[in-house]
Each structure stands twice: as structure tokens, then as C-alpha cells.
Chains A and B, each alone.
Chain A
Amino acid sequence: DVKVTQSSRYLVKRTGEKVFLECVQDMDHENMFWYRQDPGLGLRLIYFSYDVKMKEKGDIPEGYSVSREKKERFSLILESASTNQTSMYLCASSFGRAENNEQFFGPGTRLTVL
């Protein structure tokens, strides 16, 4: 079974702090994704990566950056957290180059910025 793990289930940070969300997948997938999930807005793509050291912006990249130094790990970085970044963050991975391939999601990190 594919396993996607996220470093924390719950995280509380203060405005202005630098926040790291880590995601690890164990199936040698090429692609990794970061989404945020908000009530009434569904899942929105922040960034994705199709290879080590490669990254592409999604729908809402503002205020975020990412890092992929190893194939199995994809990090989401909030350089200076703000209250409007309070949300559920979901990491996912998928195999191959076809964008329609099944995505496997982690359990999510609920981030609260005070």
C-alpha cells in the first residue's frame, strides 16, 4: 500500500513565524502535491513537483514556497505565517507523467495561526 505521511496532524503557530510542513511518501512516486482545504472552497492546489528539485505553482502559491531535495520528501514552507493561512493542508503523491493518475493523500495537517 502507498503510504503518505505528514509530519504533524495539528500545528499551532503565531503570526510571523516560519512554518515547515513535511510530507513523505514511500512508493517512489515522481509527483507530489500540496493542497489546502477550506470549508466551501474544496481542495486548492498550492504547489506541485514532478521531480527532485522541480516545482511548479498551482492555483494559490502566494505566501508559500516548497522544497523537494529528495524524491520521497516534499516540504511546504510558510515564510511568515498569517492568520489567513489557517487551514487544513493535504499532501499527495502520484506515479508517472499522466496528470490523471490516482493521487494518494496523506491524513492532513490542521494548521492554526494565531
Chain B
Amino acid sequence: LAKTTQPISMDSYEGQEVNITCSHNNIATNDYITWYQQFPSQGPRFIIQGYKTKVTNEVASLFIPADRKSSTLSLPRVSLSDTAVYYCLVGGGGFQKLVFGTGTRLLVSP
């Protein structure tokens, strides 16, 4: 299983760019990297997914280096409503191999 490691918490201010890195040294060839966001009292929700290089959508960007042993979720110009826990999920080749990280708690202050 591709175990993942994320920082426990991060602090930021409104308007700043936030980068959250996930380490997954044992990622397998067919594993994808997915990020989820979770607000208090809610289930996680999908943000972005990638396999290699860079992926961008209306919410975030995902950067994956060539060796794919880590990935970085980038949130441009965060707002107070981006305060949440962010999970990195790595897996492929079977549902049993999907492994969520322990999550990064992002606190955005005014």
C-alpha cells in the first residue's frame, strides 16, 4: 500500500497561496493521486486528481514531479471558507489499495 504523509496543520491568511504537500514514496505505477476537502460536520468532497505533471481546475492545482513520490495541492488566494481538512489519497489497482492520508488541517485567518 502506498502510505502517505502530510503535515498535520498549516496556517495562512486570506489572499495568500497555500501549498500542501503529500509524500507517497511507495507509489505504484498505476496509482493516481486524489485530493479531498472536508469541512466540519460534513463528509469529504473531491477537489482534484492527477497522475503526473500538472492538473488545474477552477478550485486548485495539483503538481506532481517526475518521480511521483510526492504531490502538492495548491490553493490560490485562499479565503476564510477554505478552512478545512485536506486529504491526499493514493491508489489504483484495487479498492483495497486506496489509502487516505491523515489529513492536513488548514486554518485561514483574516
A binds B: yes
Measuring CB to CB, which residues of chain A are less than 8 angstroms from any residue of chain B?
4, 31, 33, 35, 40-45, 48, 50, 56-59, 90-92, 99-100, 102-108
Residues of B within 8 A of A59 (CB): 96
Enumerate chain A residues within 8 angstroms of B103, measured Cβ to Cβ: 42
Closest to B1 in A: A59
A100-B32, A106-B43 known; A40+B102 contact, CB < 8 A = yes
The interface residues of chain B lying within 8 Å CB-to-CB of A35 are 100
Query: Count of A-B contacts with CB under 8 A?
Result: 62
CA distance A10 to B43 in the complex (A): 14
CB of A42, distance to nearest CB on chain B (Å): 4
A35 to B36, CA, bound (A): 14
Interface size on B, residues (CB 8 A): 23
A102 to B43, Cβ gap below 8 A?
no
Contact, CB under 8 Å: B100 / A42: yes
- Whether the pair A99, B94 counts as a contact (CB closer than 8 A) is yes
> Contact partner of B46 among A44, A45, A103, CB < 8 A?
A103
Neighbouring B residues of A33 by C-beta, 8 Å: 95
B43 touches A107 (CB 8 A): yes
Is chain A's interface secondary structure helix, strand, loop, or mixed overall?
Answer: strand
Contact yes or no, B87 A42, CB < 8 A: yes
| CB nearest neighbor in B for A31 | B95
B92 & A58 in contact (Cβ 8 Å cutoff): no
Q: Are A43 and B97 in contact (CB under 8 A)?
A: no
Assess the A58–B49 pair: CB atoms within 8 A: no
Q: A35-B100, A99-B98, A100-B91 are in contact. List 6 more A-B contacts (CB 8 A).
A: A42-B101, A45-B95, A58-B95, A100-B32, A106-B43, A108-B41
